[in-house]
Amino acid sequence: MSETFHIEALGYSDRGKAPVVQRLSLRSDELDRISRRAVLLLRRSTTSQWNAAPVEAVRVVDGAGTELFRWSVWDEMSGASR
From first to last of its 82 residues, what are the pLDDT tens digits of the chain? 789 999 999 987 667 677 888 899 999 999 999 999 999 988 888 777 767 777 889 999 999 999 999 999 888 777 665 5
CA distance 16 to 18: 6
Question: Residue 32: its pLDDT value, please?
Answer: 95
Give me the domain span that covers residue 61: 3-78
Q: Specify the pLDDT at position 82.
A: 56
Contact, 7 vs 34, CB < 8 A?
A: yes
Domain count, the chain: 1
